């Protein structure tokens, strides 16, 4: 690929449709209520836990499925002073929607439109020598100073510079800062196992980061924002808070350490609620195979309920036979296979359910409803994936206390 050609248009960021606050849900197959007040309160709680450290709210992946722009506003209302996304397109979508707070973006390939990003006052992560060189070239072409955060790999083994690359970048960054080409506002790294607080790698990465900060200081770099703590470290490891914490999943009221405690344990509450409506309820004899492959066979005469959500909506196909749902206060697991657009529940012969009744897929831990964590545990994944994959076919309805 020829990287010297002009940049293609940035892809737009796909977003689900939005229902007005208080809109009726009659006639909808399913919808997700997103409680922006919960997000605001969660950020405020994280800010309290972080003490003197600032909060950078991570809103990548359409804010973990909760909606980039509304969540940006709620996080800032809760006291976040910085936002972070993965892709440039996400950062630019936030700017296009009028979000003016500082935004860090850390995932772009060579040839990305960094001049455009600098022009929109985005903060660029520099995690490789080529990235620093491209940022410098873009800033020079604009005759301006690019605000950057150096990204260090302290042992995650993923993004960020290490070893000779890092040593060279610190020297180059100091020189570029002296020339006024970049402002090294921050320096950051990311944990491999912060969700296992006493894992030896946690301490080792903190020590490596401290050594890198000393190296940076020796070449004359004094970044004002040193940051390391994701949600797990924000909640469990005050020694990693430094100047700013960088929580993602916890701002949505999900626990990154479910074995230690759920959201309530940490003073957080879930922001996403997913509800569907039964589109059919029908009587069924014993011995009837249900859904593709007939993996489930009714053990007795019963009533089947059809739920109009499937893997096209982000219901994992691996949740076949195990995904939890609640109807009229009773907990069920999906009967048989998850299809593209629907799943079936065996409601029991005595169920009062009728077509149009509500089915709770993701609710509140405190109310005893199925949660994203229950789904994750049922299929062997993490709650992050459950909420983030909720598809754009499910409209979002934002709730906010006025």
Ligand X SMILES: *Cc1c(COP(=O)(O)O)cnc(C)c1O
Looking from the CA of 163 toward its CB, the CA atoms found within 13 Å total 3
The only residue of 102, 127, 248, 363 in contact with ligand X, by rule CB under 6 A = 248
Site for ligand X in 7-26 (CB under 6 A): none
The CA distance from 332 to 324, in Å, is: 6
Q: Is 82 a catalytic residue?
A: no
* Token digits of residue 159: 């993004």
Q: If we measure between CA atoms, which residue out of 275, 267, 250, 265 comes closest to residue 383? A: 250
Per CB under 6 A, the segment of 9-17, 242-250, 262-270, 343-351 that binds ligand X is: 242-250
Which of 29, 87, 105, 230 is close enough to bind ligand X by CB under 6 A? 230
Interface segment toward ligand X; rule CB under 6 A; list 30-38, 167-175, 247-255, 258-266? 247-255
Q: In terms of CB distance, is 19 or 382 closer to ligand X?
A: 382
Question: Shortest approach of ligand X to residue 158 CB, angstroms?
Answer: 9
For residues 120 and 105, the answer to whether their CB atoms sit within 8 Å is no
Figure out which of the listed residues 249, 325, 345, 347 binds ligand X, where binding follows CB under 6 A. 249
Instruction: Give 137: exposed, middle or buried? Use CB within 10 Å, 0-12, 13-18, 19+.
Output: middle
String marking each residue 153-182 x if it binds ligand X according to CB under 6 A: ------------------------------
Question: What length is written for the chain?
Answer: 402
Q: Give residues with Cβ within 8 angstroms of 5, minimum separation 6.
A: none
- Which of 248-256, 296-304, 311-319, 348-356 is the region at the interface with ligand X (rule: CB under 6 A)? 248-256
Q: Which stretch binds ligand X (CB under 6 A): 246-254, 299-307, 313-321, 323-331?
A: 246-254
Contact criterion met (CB below 8 Å) for 320 and 328: no
Binding test (CB under 6 A) with ligand X, winner from 231, 291, 342, 351:
231
The least distance separating ligand X from the CB of residue 335, rounded to whole angstroms, comes to 33
Q: Is 256 in the site for ligand X (CB under 6 A)?
A: yes
> Annotated catalytic, 292?
yes
Min dist CB 378 to ligand X, Å, is 21
Instruction: Give all strands of the β-sheet with 280-284 in edge-to-edge order.
Output: 280-284, 302-307, 343-346
User: What H or E segment, with its residue span, contains residue 401?
Assistant: none
Question: Residue 247 or residue 310: which is nearer to ligand X going by CB?
Answer: 247
Site string for ligand X, 49-78 (x = CB under 6 A): ---------x-x------------------
Annotated catalytic residue, options 151, 292, 296, 332: 292
Closest CA to 72 of 57, 61, 87: 57
> Closer to ligand X at the Cβ: 53 or 139?
53
Does residue 376 bind ligand X (CB under 6 A)? Answer: no
- At closest approach, how far in Å is the CB of 247 from ligand X? 5
Q: What are the strands, taking DSSP E only, across 157-240?
A: 182-188, 225-229
* Residue selected from 67, 127, 155, 247 as contacting ligand X according to rule CB under 6 A: 247
Kindly give, in sequence order, each residue whose CB lies less than 8 Å from that of residue 394, ignoring residues fewer than 6 positions away: 16, 30, 31, 32, 274, 309, 313, 314
Nearer to ligand X, 105 or 320 (CB): 105
The enclosing H or E element of 96 equals helix 88-96
Give the integer Cα–Cα distance in Å for 370 and 183.
Answer: 47
Joined tokens for residue 388: 């983030």
Q: Nearest distance from residue 297's CB to ligand X, in Å?
A: 40
Catalytic residue among 60, 64, 252, 296: 60
Q: Of 268 and 309, which has the nearer Cβ to ligand X?
A: 268
User: Least Å distance between CB 113 and ligand X?
Assistant: 21
The Cα–Cα gap between 240 and 359 comes to: 41
Q: Which of 147, 149, 190, 337 binds ligand X (CB under 6 A)?
A: 190
Query: How far is the C-alpha of 319 from the C-alpha of 378, rounded, in Å?
Result: 7
How far does the chain reach from its first CA to its final CA, in angstroms? 51
Find where tokens 């509500």 sit: 358
Is 340 annotated in some ligand binding site? yes
Token duo for residue 170? 């610190």
Contact between 397 and ligand X (CB under 6 A)? no
Q: Is 203 one of the annotated binding-site residues?
A: no
Element (H, E) at 24: none
Q: Give which of 188, 202, 200 is closest to 238, Cα–Cα.
A: 202
- The residue among 281 and 387 lying less far from ligand X, judged by its C-beta, is 387
**Residues at the contact surface with ligand X, assessed by CB under 6 A:** 58, 60, 190, 230-231, 246-250, 256
- Which sequence positions are flagged as catalytic? 60, 292
Which positions make up the binding site for substrate? 158, 340
């Amino acid at each position: 690929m020829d990287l010297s050609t002009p940049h293609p248009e940035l892809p737009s960021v796909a977003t689900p449709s939005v229902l007005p606050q208080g809109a009726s849900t009659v006639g909808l197959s399913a919808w997700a209520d997103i409680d922006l007040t919960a997000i605001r309160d969660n950020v405020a709680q994280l800010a309290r836990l972080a003490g003197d450290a600032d909060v950078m709210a991570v809103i990548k992946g359409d804010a973990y499925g909760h909606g980039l722009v509304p969540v940006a506003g709620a996080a800032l209302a809760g006291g976040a002073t910085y936002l972070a996304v993965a892709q440039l397109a996400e950062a630019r979508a936030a700017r296009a929607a009028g979000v003016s707070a500082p935004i860090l973006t850390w995932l772009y390939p060579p040839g990305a439109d960094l001049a455009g990003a600098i022009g929109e006052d985005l903060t660029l992560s520099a995690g490789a020598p080529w990235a620093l060189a491209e940022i410098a070239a873009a800033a020079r072409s604009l005759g301006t100073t690019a605000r950057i955060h150096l990204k260090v790999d302290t042992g995650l083994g993923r993004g960020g510079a290490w070893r000779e690359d890092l040593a060279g970048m610190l020297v180059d960054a100091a020189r570029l800062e002296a020339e006024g080409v970049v402002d090294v506002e921050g320096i950051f790294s990311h944990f491999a196992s912060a969700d296992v607080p006493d894992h030896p790698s946690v301490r080792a990465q903190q020590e490596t980061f401290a050594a890198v900060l000393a190296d940076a200081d020796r070449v004359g770099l004094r970044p004002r924002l040193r940051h390391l703590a994701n949600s797990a470290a924000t909640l469990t490891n005050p020694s990693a808070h430094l100047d700013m914490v960088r929580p993602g999943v916890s701002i949505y009221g999900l626990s990154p350490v479910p074995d230690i405690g759920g959201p309530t344990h940490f003073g957080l509450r879930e922001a996403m609620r997913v509800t569907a409506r039964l589109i059919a309820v029908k009587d069924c004899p014993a011995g009837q195979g249900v859904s593709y492959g007939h993996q489930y066979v009714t053990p007795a005469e019963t009533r089947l309920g059809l739920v109009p959500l499937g893997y096209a909506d982000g219901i994992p196909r691996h949740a076949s036979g195990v995904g939890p749902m609640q109807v009229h206060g009773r907990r069920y697991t999906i009967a048989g296979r998850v299809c593209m657009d629907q799943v079936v529940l065996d409601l029991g012969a005595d169920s009062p359910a009728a077509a149009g009744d509500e089915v709770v897929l993701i609710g509140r831990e405190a109310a005893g409803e199925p949660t994203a964590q229950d789904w994750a545990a049922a299929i062997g994944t993490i709650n992050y994936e459950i909420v983030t994959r909720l598809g754009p076919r499910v409209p979002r309805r934002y709730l906010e206390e006025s």
